Amino acid sequence: MPIQDLLPLLAEVVGEEHVRVDEDTRLAYGVDALKRGRAADAVVTPANTAEVAGVVRLCYAHDVPFVPRGSGTGYTGGAVPLHGGVVISLERMNRIIEIDEANLLAVVEPNVITGDLQAAVESVGLFYPPDPASLKQSAIGGNVAECAGGPRAFKYGTTKQYILGLEAVLPTGEIVKTGGKVVKNVVGYDLTHLLVGSEGTLAVITKIFVRLVPKPPVQATLRASFSSIDDAVRAVAEIIKRRVVPAALEFIDGESLDAVARNLQVHSLAPEGTAAILLLEVDGTPNAVEEEAGRVSEACAAAGATEILRARDEAERQELWRVRREISLSLKMITPLKFNHDMVVPKGRIPDLIALVSRIREAYRLRIPCFGHAGDGNIHVNIMVSPDDADEIQRAHDAERVLFEGVVALEGSISGEHGIGFSKAPFLAIELSPDEIALMKRVKAAFDPKGLLNPGKIFPES
């Protein structure tokens, strides 16, 4: 059905003011955080699950593609209407419905901002650990759809570990509930965790049951500097050997540090000659934290750290974290175009990944700053290019494929956090076999026989 004919039907479901077709809106809701995508044909903003189901049923009945959208902060285009159609923005469904202290859970609508959820539960002594860098902008529904990670994943796990259940609207319009308020449930298939990370291609998530844990009472934050990347990586192994699981174990290479230093206009953020730093945080009860901070320092020293700092108060802690938080923005100052890849390898193979990047850097003459979550083996590899240098862009694309193939050869994965969306879809077959892709497509068809929900994502289009 032409979108023009669908609009009055959509208006009946959500109200006329919640169906928008002006060009600004259609463009704004058509792109991801990297401004890639295409304009939506229409943007609707339902108020509740019943309205979402009504919109979905209309689109499905009339063969119009539709795409759920949270805050639009994704890096691989999961929420963009690649084939046009209706964007279902969940922005009005942004309530924390319930924080249930006795049962250590919260029930929320999908468009609660993750940082707001964290603040709300922390105010009653509870904790929602997943902390994607975008937590002040991204919505919990998007975090669920992408299975967001963040620095705390090494100790606490990713979004997946904190989702007890979901309410969702199937592409065919039925409202289903998976899991719920219990922490154990083995009744039928675990559709909850199939939906987590499914990038908005299997159902529209309308309600989320979030598991919470007690808030760790204190933490200690340390920064260790190293004169070689090898030493920094060895420190990670030394920490693991001492059986400590830090709440954060962030790796930042010299090239990333330089970018931050230039951006913040400070001479240097670490001792002269620093090739990499680790930003470390341990949390728990006061005694346990002292014990673990000691072991972490010991491990860094054993690996040859040139300097080990420990924050003495919250201000110093924020200062240490600042360099990590400023990386993304600082890299943007170097050049507005970067191919940011969230590579992940078994953590013991980080040295191989770093060596791979070095070889690529040289062979393709590219700047490739790296940083990320060393405890998870999850390193953000940023290929920096000048938007107007066609040759460099070509070299970057060639390098991408070599990088992905190399990571898979290291028993790694081409995406640890951002998902496939449309931007990595052409590379899916590097990691998955034809049988595995065929199986996933059959699962997709079990949910969405007509393929109208979020088309063009995950699977390469022929």
For a second copy, give the closer residue by CB, 347 or 395.
Answer: 347
Instruction: Please report how the helices 390-409 and 350-363 are oriented relative to each other, as an axis angle in degrees rounded to 10.
Output: 150
Among 378, 382, 423, 454, binds a second copy (CB under 8 A): 378
Residue length of the chain: 462
Stretch in the footprint of a second copy (CB under 8 A) among 143-151, 259-267, 298-306, 356-364: 143-151
Taking CB under 8 A as the rule, does residue 213 contact a second copy?
yes
Q: What is the footprint of a second copy within residues 223-262 (CB under 8 A)? A: 237, 240-241, 243-245
Shortest Å distance, C-beta 446 to a second copy: 4
Among 86, 87, 344, 383, binds a second copy (CB under 8 A): 344
Stretch in the footprint of a second copy (CB under 8 A) among 6-14, 219-227, 271-279, 415-423: 415-423
Is the distance from CB of 148 to CB of 132 less than 8 angstroms? yes
In order, the DSSP letters of 201-249 are SS-EEEEEEEE-EEPPSEEEEEEEEESSHHHHHHHHHHHHHTT---SEE
Taking CB under 8 A as the rule, does residue 184 contact a second copy?
yes
CA distances, 89 to each of 64, 223, 399 (Å) = 16, 41, 35
Among 9, 120, 175, 393, binds a second copy (CB under 8 A): 175
Phi, psi of 312 (to 5 degrees): -95, -15
| Structure tokens given for 125 | 């002594």
Q: What is the footprint of a second copy within residues 87-126 (CB under 8 A)? A: 100-105, 125
**Four-residue CA torsion sign, 224, 128, 80, 40:** negative
For a second copy, give the closer residue by CB, 99 or 261.
Answer: 99
Stretch in the footprint of a second copy (CB under 8 A) among 8-16, 41-49, 263-271, 372-380: 372-380
Is the distance from CB of 237 to CB of 348 less than 8 angstroms? yes
Shortest Å distance, C-beta 278 to a second copy: 17
Pairing label, strands 105-108, 276-284: unpaired
Shortest Å distance, C-beta 327 to a second copy: 19
For a second copy, give the closer residue by CB, 192 or 274.
Answer: 192
For a second copy, give the closer residue by CB, 196 or 320.
Answer: 196
Pairing label, strands 307-310, 248-253: unpaired
For a second copy, give the closer residue by CB, 1 or 218.
Answer: 218
CA angle 26-31-33, nearest 5°? Answer: 140
Is the distance from CB of 67 to CB of 81 less than 8 angstroms? yes
Among 17, 24, 267, 442, binds a second copy (CB under 8 A): 442
Taking CB under 8 A as the rule, does residue 348 contact a second copy?
yes
Instruction: Please report how the helices 49-61 and 3-14 are oriented relative to each other, as an axis angle in degrees rounded to 10.
Output: 160
CA distances, 159 to each of 7, 114, 211, 263, 389 (Å) = 36, 11, 10, 31, 38
Distance in angstroms (rounded) separating the CA atoms of residues 87 and 79 = 8
For a second copy, give the closer residue by CB, 189 or 267.
Answer: 189
Region of 180 please: left (phi>0), alpha (psi -120 to 50) or beta: left
Q: What is the footprint of a second copy within residues 261-320 (CB under 8 A)? A: 284-285, 287-288, 290-292
Among 15, 21, 48, 180, binds a second copy (CB under 8 A): 180
Among 66, 75, 128, 154, binds a second copy (CB under 8 A): 154
Phi, psi of 126 (to 5 degrees): -110, 180
Among 417, 422, 454, 455, binds a second copy (CB under 8 A): 417
**Residue found under tokens 């059959």:** 442
Taking CB under 8 A as the rule, does residue 50 contact a second copy?
no
Shortest Å distance, C-beta 96 to a second copy: 18
The strands making up 163-169's β-sheet, listed across from edge to edge, are: 96-100, 105-108, 204-211, 163-169, 175-179
Taking CB under 8 A as the rule, does residue 411 contact a second copy?
yes
Q: What is the footprint of a second copy within residues 61-90 (CB under 8 A)? A: none
Shortest Å distance, C-beta 103 to a second copy: 4
Taking CB under 8 A as the rule, does residue 200 contact a second copy?
no
Taking CB under 8 A as the rule, does residue 429 contact a second copy?
no
